[in-house]
Chains A and B, each alone.
Chain A
Amino acid sequence: MIALLASCSQTGASGSGTPAKPSAYIQNKGSDTMVNLALAWAERYQQVNAQVSLSVTGGGSGTGITSLLNGTVDIANASRAITPAEIQTAKTNGFVPVEFTVARDAIAVIVNPENPVKHLSLPQFSKIYRGEYNNWQEVGGENRPIVRLSRETNSGTHVYFLETVIRLGNSKDKTIFSADTLLLPSSEGIIAELRDNPNAIGYDGLGYVTPDVKVIAVSQKDGGPYIMPSAATVNDKTYPIARDLYMYTHGQPAGAIKDYLNWIVSPEAQQIVTDLGFVPIVKK
């Protein structure tokens, strides 16, 4: 029941503090992965700039972009790039959507510090979570059973992991997590189990990783090169399990929307990105 109430307040949430007299009203909708980030930005921005009132809703990247195309929102949040079909729809509606990369999201593969495995390829990683590999020996480790840890299905990271790692980006693949994957309700739960259990493997947003677990290097293909996740490797796109997070606007932004998007790439707003476990963008 509490969860239900929480969901009501979250989906209907608008970051309205006590703005003196908002002269501009920005509607922001889309990606569930980004909803907490977008809310945090909106709340902070309204403290900085009381003239602007922001309303943030989730619903998913597709929902956000569709709303942008229909003209019902000013900014769409998306954890995937806009598709050519969506751009075409926008053109028939008489505008060109403009893309802004606002943050990056990287998944770190984590194990217990005692685990001797240093690196894994995405295909190996996929086989672990599909339930094909059940012993660490099969990926060059000790003779121990593999205990798979994951975030709950409602987490955006869970879905991204399913698509990018388990299905290796193949959208026709309908494989899902092995049924015995432990679904833990929080990042803390995953870290607590990994800290203690040398059998376990887990994944989480890079920003949630604490020093008492071991991060593993990952390669796109079997045999390497193996890349450690960091703000640098995520930004130069060599780390394979990372994605950009976007905001789309209705044509070139102007006025309050433009100011807001400029503020989002500022160090202050990018600090919020780091605080929430995402990777900040680096301006070139």
Chain B
Amino acid sequence: MNNQTTRREFVITWIIKLSGYSSILFVSLIFFFLLREGIPALANVSLGSLFSTRWYPIENYFGILPLILGSLVVTLGALLVSVPLGLATAIYISEVATQWEKEVLKPLIELLAGLPSVVLGFLGILILVPFLRHFLNLPTGLTALAGSILLGLIAIPTIVSISEDALNSVPQSYREASLALGATRWQTIWHSTLPAARSGVLTAIMLGVGRAIGETMAVMMVTGNAPVMPQGLQALFQPARTMTATIASEMGEVATGSTHYQVLFFIGIVLFVFSLIVNIIASSLSTQQRKRAERLLS
């Protein structure tokens, strides 16, 4: 009997272990595949032309710089939208809202997370793009800004739910102490609760960035996809072409093994490295949080 239980436990432990390891295996296989397909690009295209400013692959212009910068501009713009809105929503839900408001707001925000990005893109083309052109008097509404706003909407649920968790885990005694010292409710939120949840909030923002930089469909539909080099702040109001949109729109027709194909995989590697960095920052922030919590307990 006892022997049987240990054997069963042994099997179950191994199954769980394997599923845990399999995710590492999958990620490394994907990375290995990306490297195998993308690294030959470096042999066929010189580094100088790979990091030049013109992307027009059918005539062998393989400058990926406008694509990298395009992704960065759109993602940074998305942060400008999603951080204030997401953080304010999280603070409201965690610190201000009554119980029934919480019960309504939380599922609604989760619903936003479940909205397919192609639907957002469609709304973007039909409503947001014409609106931006009229409102800001731009030559066209198909701009990085339109992509940023949609990506902001996509990143908000991530930012809200993670930073709301972080705010909730701040001990109630902090708030009570602050209020007891005569601080107003706003002063308590801004000077005590939020700083205490800082690393969790930063993790939320980084995960939001990760969500935004990898998004494809909505961006492809509204940013105009022109591979222009961003020039200062103006870049937000001009069209942009992101790395994801480039891969999505060009991979379908490219001849397997051609230089263009290899460069597209190289862009995939760059994208992978970007999201790896973002995730590493996010997870290092969340371990910091644990250390602080441990310090508080001791």
**CB of B155 to closest CB in A, whole Å:** 22
**Given A176-B56, A177-B56, residue A147 in contact with residue B140 (CB < 8 A):** yes
B140, A185: Cβ atoms closer than 8 Å: no
A176, B59: Cβ atoms closer than 8 Å: yes
A6, B252: Cβ atoms closer than 8 Å: yes
Closest residue to B217 on the A side, CB-wise? A185
B140, A32: Cβ atoms closer than 8 Å: no
CB-defined contacts of A196 to chain B, threshold 8 Å: 129-130, 133, 141
Among listed B4-12, B220-228, B286-294, interface-contacting one: B220-228
A185, B139: Cβ atoms closer than 8 Å: no
- Chain B 232-262, CB within 8 Å of chain A: the 1/0 string? 0000001101000001111111110000000
Closest residue to B222 on the A side, CB-wise? A189
- Restricting to B80-132, which residues have a CB under 8 Å from any CB of A? 125-126, 129-130
CB-defined contacts of A184 to chain B, threshold 8 Å: 142, 224-225
Closest residue to A147 on the B side, CB-wise? B140
Q: Which of A32, A59, A183, A189 contacts B226 (CB 8 A)?
A: A183
- Chain A 4-20, CB within 8 Å of chain B: the 1/0 string? 10110010000000000
Interface residues on B, range: 35 or more
Closest residue to B227 on the A side, CB-wise? A179
**Bound-state Cα–Cα, A277 to B129, Å:** 27
Q: How many residues of A contact B (CB 8 A)?
A: 32
**Bound-state Cα–Cα, A177 to B54, Å:** 11
Q: Which of B61, B125, B141, B253 has the most CB of A within 10 A?
A: B253
CB-defined contacts of A181 to chain B, threshold 8 Å: 226
B61, A176: Cβ atoms closer than 8 Å: yes
**CB of B126 to closest CB in A, whole Å:** 7
B250, A145: Cβ atoms closer than 8 Å: no
Answer yes or no: B297 CB below 8 A from chain A CBs. Answer: no
**Bound-state Cα–Cα, A163 to B176, Å:** 73
CB-defined contacts of B66 to chain A, threshold 8 Å: 179
Answer yes or no: B58 CB below 8 A from chain A CBs. Answer: yes
CB-defined contacts of B238 to chain A, threshold 8 Å: 180
**Given A176-B59, A184-B225, A192-B125, residue A152 in contact with residue B140 (CB < 8 A):** no
**Bound-state Cα–Cα, A6 to B250, Å:** 12
What are 16 A-B residue pairs whose CB atoms fall within 8 Å in the complex?
Answer: A3-B247, A3-B251, A7-B254, A32-B253, A152-B250, A153-B56, A154-B252, A154-B253, A177-B56, A180-B226, A182-B225, A185-B220, A189-B125, A196-B130, A196-B133, A197-B140
17 further A-B pairs in the complex, CB-CB below 8 A; given A179-B229, A180-B228, A183-B249: A6-B252, A7-B251, A153-B57, A154-B250, A154-B253, A179-B54, A179-B227, A179-B228, A182-B142, A183-B225, A184-B142, A185-B221, A185-B249, A192-B125, A197-B130, A197-B133, A199-B140
